[in-house]
Chain A
Amino acid sequence: MTRISLTVNGKRYERDVAENRTLLRFLREDLGLIGTKEGCGAGECGACTVLFDGLTVNSCMVLAVEADGRAVETIEGEAKDGKLSDLQEAFQKHHAVQCGFCTPGMIMSTRELLHRTPKPTVAEIKEGIEGNFCRCTGYQQIVEAVLDVSGQLEKKGELRHA
């Protein structure tokens, strides 16, 4: 066991953790922050994406002890004062969510992308979420949501009535 001290969504936590505990399990099981999901546990799917000092990591591939002294942000910190963030509102508006299992990780990746690139191109958006698998949506509506929140969507994606 090692004592670590870190902030998660701006709140300070001090905990004893086993050296082999992943950040993902630490967040989910020790802090009860179940919004971060596990889709593979092997660094391949992005469901466990969180921000680590502002940069995305697959939390299944990071040890909790590595987070000592760091700032971690998870999906639980995205909505503020009981209100969805602009990004979440855009996901809702554009139906960028179906089963929702990839969504927390997807939003964290998109959050980092928008920090880095406030007006990303379609190619940059696709690049930015490439590491986040979504089996349900086919990604298109996620791209549209990000275009919208960055003020670049020309026309809402619509079902055409032939």
Chain B
Amino acid sequence: MLENQDPATLKYVGKGALRAEGVEKMTGQAVYASDMVMPGMLYAQVKKSPHARAKILGIDVSKAEALPGVRAVLVGSELDYRLGLYVVDKDILAKGEVRHYGEAVAAVAADTLEIAKAAVDLIEVKYEVLPPILNHMDALKKDAPLVHPDLGTYDFVKAAFTPVPGTNIANLTKLRKGDVEKGFAESEWIIEREYTNPSVQHVPMETHVAIVQWKTGDDVTIWTSAQSPFTVRSLFCYAFKLPLNKVRVVIPHVGGGFGGKAGIHIEPLVACLSRKAGGAPVKFQATREEEFSLLPCRSALTYRIKTGVRSDGKIVAQKMSMYWDAGAYADYAVNVTRASGYSGAGPYEIPNAWLDAYTIYTNKPYGTAYRGFGHVEFFWGLERHMELVAQAIGMDSLEFRRKNALRPGSVTLTGEVISENSGNVLKCINEAAASIGYGSLSADEKAREKETGRKIGKGIAALHKAPAMPPFTATAVIIRMNSDGTVLVNLALTEIGQGSVTAYSQIVAERLKFRLDQVKVTVEKDTDRDPYDWQTVASKGIILTGNACILACDDLLKGAYETAGQILRAQSCDLDHDDTRVFVRHHPEQGVTFASIAVGYAYPDGNAIGGPLIGVGRYVAQGLSNLDKETGQGYPALDWTYGAHGIVVEVDPATGEFRILKIASIFDVGKAINPDLVRGQCIGGMVQGLGTAVCEGYIYDQEGHLLNPSFTDNKIPTSKDIPDEIDCAVVETPQLDGPYGARGVGEHPMISVAPALGNAIQHAVGAELLHMPIRAEDVWRAMRNSGPIDNWITKTPSGSCRSDPAARRHDPDHAITP
């Protein structure tokens, strides 16, 4: 709802308010689920599979059960509940067969953590080890073993997904626009490449944790570090066939999520332990190692792109094949596939497009949502591809991007027409280029090159993303006024560090014309108390919940004006208010205080009118539709946030070592509600994107054991890894249905960091990288590749952030090709 964008009249929106819950966090007083202890609480531990694929021949729990202090031991055969966000394919504990290294096969609840650990060690599991299917491309082969032989019997969300029974394909998403073969026929050049990246871990600093109490009478309370309270509740109730009003989900402060905590994970298992232990609350917190393999990761991707370009540099046709490695369970990966599918061409207009995106089961830890929801992964390939295509046709890559960028009147892959208000990707690209001085080296940079012997290169990569969500995604906000005229705001969009509490406080204060200190948005979420919100994901919070905040403010004021109008004998249309009073506009001295009407107004004789003031705001995404399953045509996007990164890199041509001298990150956010928070998202997301770009990734051996589930072997960026200079800027093309014109930007800063770096390295030393992460050794090898651009680098995995060769063997001839 674009009501007002004028900085001169806005008091809080567009200004840098301090973080509302900052003091609590600064003093160590903020309570996270991992800090919570309940009376009589037991501690859980999980027995995990040491194999990637094995038949469970038997589990002997007798010794564990006999250990004093053990209150419950569980194995899969006791449980008959299935879980799954979109494809219901996961047992709470493995039954019959384990499908990935680290999968839970048994669990214990005991008086202390020490006893629980000892008990888990006493559980004996007999396995028959089976050959795992590790490479997702191998899993597509006709004779590949099936990770889920019963796929055809599983329930799934039919409006959005298409599993293929009898294969390892959990979902196939198709996009068809124009006539791609005709487009290729008209093309001067046709360039085809394949790009890859491994699975990575989200690494929230607080690992997944839940405390669950399953009380007598099936009343269940779940305290959890999850991102989405209502999703935990609905999936929990679906699995256990419980009415929604029997289950309460409470979320205190959350120590980072990044999508890894978006769905439901450990809560059902902990609940079953509590029930078996007679209703005592049970706590489970994943170790850092378990975070890597018991809990989900981000899917690996192989992205093949074939592009047809006209002699003037205009793309006329593009054929795209995405092969997503789901791991053992479909979880969010099928929806990552769907969302990446409809966004897969990036912020470029492709008149004739064809895309198939597969979600493929393998015997590896499973993929879930991760900041960017597939876009970090596929933009690696897409924006490297744009660079290589431009090079192949002899055009400057910035010029090539400009030529093909979406602009008003362009039609997206799904048939949506871009308008003036959709955001401005061209401006983002141009700003990024200007900020890094793209296209030439400054005198200082030249001098530096001379002095150091290192080469400086500059690269650009663009990005876009829309929230991946059902077309009917909804939320609500409730505002209650206290008897002193302050307000409490309840909403279920979880504060996971992004600053939502602060931003919503600003929106509410602005709309109510109240002071910021009159507004409190609750941090703790509680499904018994807060109104519904779909999920804390997708960068959709600012638009949907922001709009609901505005509507709730208006509703609250409507009630206040009704009561005040009676007292003042005035119609609502003649009333106005400030932060303390409602008054008659043309007689401002005639008024009543909010405090006097907040919980009902009492006349001097004791007669009363009104009642507690409550405002309700409900908002549902407008104008979106399911996508046609054969062509992908439809309206999936609440909003498109566009952006671009520009990177200046310095590369040692002898060793391939590199250092990022500067990064510029530009996003069209519509309106920065809180510029300081937006900057926080920009920098934090960008550095997380750098982790993906340069050092993070799962490494497996040939048997499918994860080799690096720790910070020693899976590095994440530290303070010493950040670029020397960071420029964050916003373009503000108002979103017409966004609060004060705003659109989401939580995920976007992470997208396209890697290809901007890859492109910059290519400009510096000519290395043509097709795989991320990019390590010094990868650059060194790529520099020495004198042959044609090809996937040679994926064939030399040793010492890099890639799997064992056997686990990564890629043989396109055996793949199911369209």
Contacts and interface: CB of A to CB of B under 8 A. Distances in A.
Contacts of B409: none
9 tightest CB-CB pairs across the interface, nearest first? A35-B28, A100-B25, A99-B497, A101-B255, A138-B687, A98-B497, A75-B28, A160-B729, A44-B711
A160 B730 CA distance: 6
A interface SS class: loop
Interface string B135-159: 0000000000000000000000000
Contacts of A37: 32, 34, 205-206, 255
A39 to B, nearest CB: 5
B496 A99 contact: yes
A159 B679 contact: yes
A67 to B, nearest CB: 18
A45 B202 CA distance: 14
Interface in B705-743: 710-712, 716-720, 722, 726-732
A78 B28 CA distance: 9
Contacts of A28: 35
A59 interface: no
B206 A160 contact: no
B688 interface: yes
Interface of A: 28, 33-42, 44-45, 47, 74-76, 78-79, 84, 88, 91-93, 95, 97-104, 107, 125-127, 129-143, 157-162
21 contacts: A33-B28, A35-B28, A42-B711, A45-B288, A84-B26, A88-B27, A95-B676, A95-B679, A97-B26, A98-B497, A99-B256, A100-B22, A133-B203, A133-B716, A135-B205, A138-B684, A138-B722, A139-B718, A159-B682, A160-B729, A162-B731
B471 interface: no
Contacts of A125: 719
Contacts of B46: none
A143 B560 CA distance: 46
Contacts of A107: 26
Interface string B242-264: 00000000000111111000000
B683 to A, nearest CB: 4
A58 to B, nearest CB: 12
B666 interface: yes
A103 B256 CA distance: 12
Interface of B: 18-19, 21-32, 34-35, 202-207, 253-258, 287-288, 427, 431, 496-499, 666, 672, 675-680, 682-688, 710-712, 716-720, 722, 726-732
Contact of A136 (B18, B256, B666): B256
Contact of B730 (A39, A75, A159): A159
A34 B672 contact: no
B676 to A, nearest CB: 5
A129 B719 contact: yes
Contacts of B255: 37, 99-101
B206 A139 contact: no
A130 B720 contact: yes
A99 B206 contact: yes
Nearest to A139: B719
Contacts of B22: 91-92, 97, 100
Contact of B204 (A79, A104, A135, A142): A135
Contact of B30 (A47, A74, A100, A139): A100
